[in-house]
C-alpha cells in the first residue's frame, strides 16, 4: 500500500492542479459570455468568442511545437498558467469588445501551447502501466468540471457578479501554476537546445519535414490519430447547431434546453465513473473504437429525435461514451508517439484540425440556413458514424494489437 501511495504521489498532485484549472475554465467561459452579452446585447458578439479559439490555434500551431519540444515543460506550464491568470484578471477592466477579443485571443494562444505541453509532461511523468488509470481519472475530473463548473458559476452570479467569476478563474490558474511548481522538474540537468533560433524559418521548416517523415514511416499510427480527430471535428460541427436544433426542431424552452445540457453532463460524469472502475478490464483499442462508435450512435439518436425524451437519451449515450473514447485516445497517443516529438506532432496536426473545425462549422451553419437544421445534423451524424466504424475496424485488427499493449514506440 505504501509503495502504491508513493507511486501516485505526483500523479495525484498533477490531477489536483488540472482540476483547479478546469473548474476555473468553465466559470470563466460562462462569465465571459454574460459580460460580452451585457456589453453588446448581441448573440453574434458572444458567438465570436467561440471563433477566437480555433483562430488562435491556427495562428500559433505553425510554430509552437518547435518551441515546446525544446524547452523545459514544467517551467513552461507554470509560466503559461501565470500568463493566463494575469490576462484574465485584466478582462473586467476592459470596456471595448475588440480589446476583449484581442485578450481572449492571447489567452487562447497560451492555452494552445499549454495543452500539448501538459500532454508531454504527463507522458514523461506517468509510467506506462499507470497511464490508462491516470487518463480515466483525468476524464472523471474533466467531466466533473463540466457538470460542477457551471453550477459554481451560477452560485457566484447569485452572490456576486460575472466579474467575480472572472477573478475566481484567475485565482484558479494562479493556484494551478503554484501546484505545478511542486511537481518534479523532469528535464532538470538536461541539455536543451539554445533558444536563439526557436522561431527561425529554417527550424520551423525542418520540424515540419521531421513530422512529415514520421507520418510516412508510421502510417497506421497517424491513420488512427487522423480518424479520431476527424470524428471530433464532426462532433464539434454538430454541437455548433445544438441550440438552434433544440429551438427550431424540438421546440424547447430555455429551461428545457438547460435541462437537456444537464443530462449530457450527468452522462459524462457517469461514463467517467464507470470508465475509472473498469478501466483495467478494457483494451485501449476497444476504448477508442467502440467508445467512438457509441458517441456517433448517440448523435444519430439525437439527430432523429422529435421529442425531449429521445434527445435526452441520445445526449446521455454520446456523453457517456465520450469518456471511454477520450481515455483510449490519450493512452494510444502517449504510448505510440515519441515524447521528444509530441509538441510538434500535436501542434501541426492540431493546425489542420482547427482549420477543419472552422470550415465545417461554417458549412453546417450556412447549409442549415439554406435547407434544414435537422437534415444537416443527420448527415453530419452519419458521416461521423462512418468515420468511427472505420476507426473501430482498424483498431481491432489482431495484427495491430502491439500498438495497444503497454509498450512504447520509442
Q: What is the pLDDT of residues 102-117, one digit of tens each?
A: 999 999 899 888 888 9
In a domain, 73, yes or no: yes
The answer to whether residues 172 and 230 belong to one domain is no
Band (277; pLDDT cuts 50, 70, 90): confident
Is 264 in contact with 242 (CB distance < 8 Å)?
Answer: no
Does 306 lie in the same domain as 218? Answer: yes
Count of CB atoms situated within 10 Å of the CB of 368: 19
Closest C-alpha among 359, 250, 366 to residue 315: 250
Provide the 8-state DSSP code for 61. T
- Long-range Cβ contacts of 367-374 (<8 Å, 24+ apart): 368/241, 368/244, 373/241, 373/244, 373/245, 373/248, 373/249, 374/245, 374/249, 374/303
How sure is the predictor about 410, in pLDDT bands with cuts at 50, 70 and 90?
very low
Range from 46-50, 60-64, 88-92, 389-393 carrying the lowest mean pLDDT: 46-50
305: left (phi over 0), alpha (psi -120 to 50) or beta: beta
Average pLDDT over all residues of the chain: 85
Co-location of 137 and 222 in the same domain:
no
* Cα–Cα distance for residue pair 113/284, rounded to 1 Å: 27
Is 192 domain-assigned? no
Residue 269's closest CA among 154, 148, 151?
148
Buried b (16+ CB within 10 A) or exposed e, 137-165: bbbbbbbbbbbbbbebbeebbeeeebeeb
Which residues form the domain of 50? Answer: 1-185
Residue 269 has pLDDT above 60, yes or no: yes
Say if 370 falls within a structural domain. yes
User: Do residues 219 and 171 both lie within one domain?
Assistant: no
CA distance 154 to 30: 9
Same domain for 95 and 229: no
Q: Are residues 346 and 392 in the same domain?
A: yes
pLDDT band for position 6 (cuts 50, 70, 90):
low
pLDDT digits (tens, 9 = 90+) for 323-364: 899 999 999 999 999 988 898 898 899 888 888 988 898 888
pLDDT at 309 (0 to 100): 94
Which band of pLDDT confidence, cut at 50, 70 and 90, is reported for residue 189? low
- Of 156, 185, 214, at which residue does a domain stop? 185
Shared domain for 1 and 82, answered yes or no, is: yes
Q: Is residue 281 part of a domain?
A: yes
CATH code assigned at 32? 1.20.1250.20
Task: Please check whether residues 173 and 33 belong to one and the same domain.
Answer: yes
Residues 174 and 210 in one domain: no
> 193 lies in a domain?
no
Distance in angstroms (rounded) separating the CA atoms of residues 49 and 101: 7
Confidence of residue 374 (pLDDT cuts 50, 70, 90): very high
In a domain? residue 199: no
Residues 6 or more apart whose Cβ sits within 8 Å of residue 152: 23, 26, 27, 168
pLDDT tens, position by position, 200-234:
778 888 889 999 999 999 999 999 999 999 999 99
The last residue of one of the domains, among 119, 150, 185, is 185
User: What are residue 392's phi and psi, to 5 degrees?
Assistant: -60, -45
Do residues 171 and 262 share a domain? no
196, part of any domain:
no
- Classify residue 119: in a domain, yes or no: yes
Half-sphere exposure of 106 (CA within 13 A, CB side): 14
Which cell goes with 292? 467512438
How many structural domains is the chain composed of? 2
If asked whether residues 174 and 214 sit together in one domain, one would say: no
Same-domain status, 23 and 83: yes
- Contact between 171 and 36 under an 8 Å Cβ cutoff? The reply is no
Amino acid at each position: 500500500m505504501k509503495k502504491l501511495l508513493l507511486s501516485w504521489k505526483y500523479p495525484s498532485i498533477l490531477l489536483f492542479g488540472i482540476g483547479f484549472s478546469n473548474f476555473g475554465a468553465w466559470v470563466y467561459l460562462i462569465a465571459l459570455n454574460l459580460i460580452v452579452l451585457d456589453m453588446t446585447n448581441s448573440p453574434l458578439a458572444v458567438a465570436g468568442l467561440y471563433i477566437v479559439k480555433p483562430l488562435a490555434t491556427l495562428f500559433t500551431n505553425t510554430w509552437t511545437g518547435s518551441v515546446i519540444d525544446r524547452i523545459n515543460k514544467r517551467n513552461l506550464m507554470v509560466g503559461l498558467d501565470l500568463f493566463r491568470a494575469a490576462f484574465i484578471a485584466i478582462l473586467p477592466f476592459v470596456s471595448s469588445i475588440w480589446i476583449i477579443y484581442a485578450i481572449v485571443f492571447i489567452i487562447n494562444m497560451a492555452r494552445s501551447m499549454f495543452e500539448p505541453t501538459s500532454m508531454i509532461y504527463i507522458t514523461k511523468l506517468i509510467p506506462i502501466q499507470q497511464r490508462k488509470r491516470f487518463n480515466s481519472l483525468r476524464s472523471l475530473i474533466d467531466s466533473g468540471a463540466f457538470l460542477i463548473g457551471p453550477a459554481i458559476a451560477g452560485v457566484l452570479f447569485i452572490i456576486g457578479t460575472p466579474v467575480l467569476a472572472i477573478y475566481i478563474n484567475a485565482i484558479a490558474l494562479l493556484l494551478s501554476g503554484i501546484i505545478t511548481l511542486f511537481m518534479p522538474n523532469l528535464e532538470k540537468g538536461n541539455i536543451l537546445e539554445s533558444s536563439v533560433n526557436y522561431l527561425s524559418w529554417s527550424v520551423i521548416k525542418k520540424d515540419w519535414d521531421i513530422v512529415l517523415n514520421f507520418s510516412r514511416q508510421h502510417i497506421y499510427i497517424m491513420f488512427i490519430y487522423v480518424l479520431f480527430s476527424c470524428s471530433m471535428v464532426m462532433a464539434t460541427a454538430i454541437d455548433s447547431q445544438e441550440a438552434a436544433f433544440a429551438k427550431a426542431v424540438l421546440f424547447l424552452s430555455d429551461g428545457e434546453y438547460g435541462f437537456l445540457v444537464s443530462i449530457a453532463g450527468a452522462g459524462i460524469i457517469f461514463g467517467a465513473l464507470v470508465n475509472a472502475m473498469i478501466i483495467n478490464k478494457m483494451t485501449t483499442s476497444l476504448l477508442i473504437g467502440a467508445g467512438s462508435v457509441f458517441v456517433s450512435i448517440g448523435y444519430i439518436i439525437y439527430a432523429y429525435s422529435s421529442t425531449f425524451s429521445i434527445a435526452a437519451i441520445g445526449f446521455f449515450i454520446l456523453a457517456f461514451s465520450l469518456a471511454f473514447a477520450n481515455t483510449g485516445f490519450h493512452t494510444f497517443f502517449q504510448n505510440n508517439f515519441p515524447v521528444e516529438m509530441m509538441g510538434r506532432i500535436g501542434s501541426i496536426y492540431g493546425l489542420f484540425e482547427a482549420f477543419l473545425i472552422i470550415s465545417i462549422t461554417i458549412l453546417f451553419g450556412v447549409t442549415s440556413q439554406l435547407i434544414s437544421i435537422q437534415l444537416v445534423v443527420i448527415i453530419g451524424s452519419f458521416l461521423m458514424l462512418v468515420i468511427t466504424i472505420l476507426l473501430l475496424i482498424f483498431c481491432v485488427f489482431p495484427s495491430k494489437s502491439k500498438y495497444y499493449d503497454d509498450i512504447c514506440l520509442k
